Amino acid sequence: MIKVSRDVSELKEDIYIIEIMKGLGVTIGHMFKNMFDLSKLPVIDYPNQEKGIPEGYRGKHRLTQRENGDPKCVACMMCATACPADCIHIEAAETSNNAIEKYPNRFDIDLLECVFCGMCVEACPVDAIRMDSGIYSMVDFNRRDFVVTKNELLAIKPQLESTKALDIRHPMQKYK
Amino acid sequence: MDLLDFGIIFARAIFVIVFCLTMVPVLIWLERKGAALIQDRIGPNRTSIGFLRLGGLIQIIADAVKIFFKEDVTPGTVHKFYFYLAPFIAGFVSLSTFAVIPFADNLKIGGKLVHMQVLNIDAGLLYFFAIVSLSVYSVVLAGWSSNSKFPLLGGIRASAQMISYEIPMGLSVIGLMMIYGSPHLNDMVQRQGELLWGFLPRWNVFLQPVAAMIFIICAFAETNRNPFDLAEGESELVGGFHTEYSSMKFGLFFMAEYISMVVSSGFIVTLFFGGWQIPFLTTELLTNYAKPIIQISLVLASLISFYICTNLYTYHKVHKNRWKDSRDYEGLIFSVITGIASIIMLVVLVLMSYIDLPTWLPPVFTLLAQVASFVIKVFLMCWVFVWVRWTLPRFRYDQLMNLGWKSLLPLALLNIFVTGAVILFLG
Ligand code: SF4
Ligand code: SF4
């Protein structure tokens, strides 16, 4: 039989009471500390104050634009092919601009099916689709409203510098 | 029996029921806020009626409304009668146990002795054990009649747990009965008003610390609360015995849990922490020196009220533009109210020194003071329930049984022998 040595005496733990008292001491300590000073809590006042999200976070998609406001997308279908959830629906149309030949007439993403894997961003050869909008809370009353269209995607702006992640960590984490 | 007698009985019963039922939302609030503070969170604080937030108490109203209007689903395969009966047993048992707890000293009105407990019976403690042991029926019936695996497992666990913890619980109070020679609760509380060695209130927790510990542990097990909530065990058994319940039938179980928390706290306080006794202030003292005591408590209340007033005002100043609606003024409004209250108390204090108290006031004041003392003690004991719940993890089933049968039971027996020996030698 292998004996594993423990650095606490077993009897002391088996009596329960001492250890329980210690535990109760820890929790009541937290409570008293927090009761008199709520401002030090590692929490944010969520809808009033947003935490922001770190760079590289995959939020709601957006379509990038050319200088004249047209979408950069050339309707090559790379993203729709790469998408594992099969939730990008593109309708290509011909354009007078001979350099690109095609543009998306429709570009719909069903956010309810999307798994936010970022494959579409990886696949795009012209950097037309990005997920750097910083929008993480997508709420609606209707399933149909979760299908975002080309114009909506074009209108979304990238996340601003000022809203980038606040440093809100648990006090314990800061020592790591 | 004339009309007055009926009125008194009625009033006592109403008081007890209203007290228990109003404690439920307060305790839910206490639990949520306590849990939040212990876990470094803030807890519910946004729901409001107009400007009223009351630090999250309004959230409880929202919850209650929600639970009332939820769809009440009764699964097709349940045993209907027992399925409906179980939550009622839970509610009934937890409400009716409170009947024997005295919440103030006997009051003399016009030569009539009024007992401040709903049921003034000699077998107070026995009544408690008789009724409390019925509560296992609610859990077992709910578990069995649901006709589903998880509730059944929860019900089985709960019945084993409750039956095994009732034994050390019953044995732990035998020491008390040996000391007082009666299971009448008011007698016990009256005797706890004396002093031990001249400075310590003669509370039973000092006379019978082991019994107190065992009783409190068993009370946790009887109310099915953490660390003994194996009946629910949501991480293993979905929701335990109430998995199949919804809407207000679930709400009744939920309420019953909190009411039985109040009742257990009431019993712990009555048996071990002096019940309605205010330490160092006996009933005679309170009645005879009513005037100075009222004056001192007015001064204290006024100071506390003023402190709250200033605190709320600073709170209002810091959080002026937090919500951008009427909720911003809550702190200000309450700070004004508490400020006015503290001034009114001071005015009453000054007026009091000019007039003599009417003769009916001292007994009534005594009654109110003792009820307040009892309620405060119960509240603190309920806080212990909450505190323990958010500190300790759940016991494993075998640990639970080991603790009950191998530790608590021998300890309770030992306590009886030691108490007997001490009584024998000290006379
Ligand atoms: S993030 Fe993934 S799932 Fe969503 S649209 Fe892009 S490729 Fe499809
Ligand atoms: S977004 Fe990029 S990958 Fe997708 S169709 Fe347009 S150009 Fe092709």
Mutate to test the interface with A, among B30, B33, B38, B385 (most CBs of A within 10 A): B38
Segment B139-182, tens digit of pLDDT: 888 888 888 888 888 888 888 888 888 889 888 888 888 888 87
Which residues lie closer than 8 Å to B389 by C-beta, 6 or more apart?
B31, B35, B225, B226, B227
**What confidence score (pLDDT) does residue B320 get?**
78
CB burial string B105-143: b at 16+ within 10 A, e below: bebeeeeeebbbbbbbeeebbebbeebbbebbbbbbbbb
- Span B20-37, average pLDDT: 88
Contact A150, A71 (CB under 8 A): yes
Predicted model pTM:
0.80
Query: Which residue in B264, B268, B299, B282 sits closest to B369, CA to CA?
Result: B282
Nearest CA to ligand 2 atom 4: A79
How remote is the C-alpha of B162 from its chain's centroid? 19
Ligand 2 pocket: which of A72, A119, A129, A131 to mutate (most atoms within 8 A of CB) = A129
Which residues lie closer than 8 Å to B275 by C-beta, 6 or more apart?
B101, B102, B185, B188, B189, B192, B269, B374, B377
**How many angstroms does the Cα of residue B146 sit away from the middle of ligand 2?**
55
Segment B51-64, tens digit of pLDDT: 778 878 888 888 88
- Span B379-406, average pLDDT: 87
- In this predicted structure, the answer to whether residue A81 has a pLDDT above a threshold of 60 is yes
Ligand 2 within 6 A of A124 CB?
Answer: yes
Nearest CA to ligand 1 atom 3: A114
Which atom of ligand 1 approaches the CA of A118 most closely?
1
**What confidence score (pLDDT) does residue A89 get?**
93
- In this predicted structure, the answer to whether residue A115 has a pLDDT above a threshold of 90 is yes
Mutate to test the interface with A, among B32, B37, B406 (most CBs of A within 10 A): B37
Which atom of ligand 1 approaches the CA of A79 most closely?
7
ipTM here = 0.77
- Cis before B227? omega within 30: yes
Chain length of chain B: 427
Ligand 2 within 6 A of A90 CB?
Answer: yes
Nearest CA to ligand 2 atom 7: A73
- In this predicted structure, the answer to whether residue A67 has a pLDDT above a threshold of 80 is yes
**What confidence score (pLDDT) does residue B427 get?**
67
Q: State whether residue B49 sits within 8 Å of chain A by CB.
A: no
DSSP annotation of B72? -
Ligand 2 pocket: which of A65, A66, A70, A90 to mutate (most atoms within 8 A of CB) = A90
- Domain boundaries in chain B? 3-277+364-426, 290-357
Q: State whether residue A34 sits within 8 Å of chain B by CB.
A: yes
Query: Residue A174's pLDDT band (boundaries 50, 70, 90)?
Result: very low
**How many angstroms does the Cα of residue A95 sit away from the middle of ligand 1?**
26
Nearest CA to ligand 2 atom 2: A124
Q: State whether residue A26 sits within 8 Å of chain B by CB.
A: yes
CATH class of the domain defined by A62-160: alpha beta
- Domain boundaries in chain A? 9-43, 62-160
> Looking at A15-29, A56-70, A86-100, B275-289, which range is the least confident one?
B275-289
**What confidence score (pLDDT) does residue B154 get?**
83
Residue whose pair of structure tokens reads 């047209």 in the numeric block: A70
The residue of chain A nearest to residue B318, with distances taken between CA atoms, is A39
Q: How far is the C-alpha of A120 from the C-alpha of A118, rounded, in Å? A: 5
A41 contact residues in B (CB cutoff 8 A)? 40-42
Angle between helices B149-172 and B209-222 (to 10 degrees): 160
Q: State whether residue A67 sits within 8 Å of chain B by CB.
A: no
Ligand 2 pocket: which of A78, A107, A122, A150 to mutate (most atoms within 8 A of CB) = A78
The CA distance from B374 to the nearest CA of chain A, in Å, is 23
A42 contact residues in B (CB cutoff 8 A)? 40
H or E element, residue B401: helix B397-401
Winning range, highest mean pLDDT, from A65-69, A124-128, B106-110: A124-128
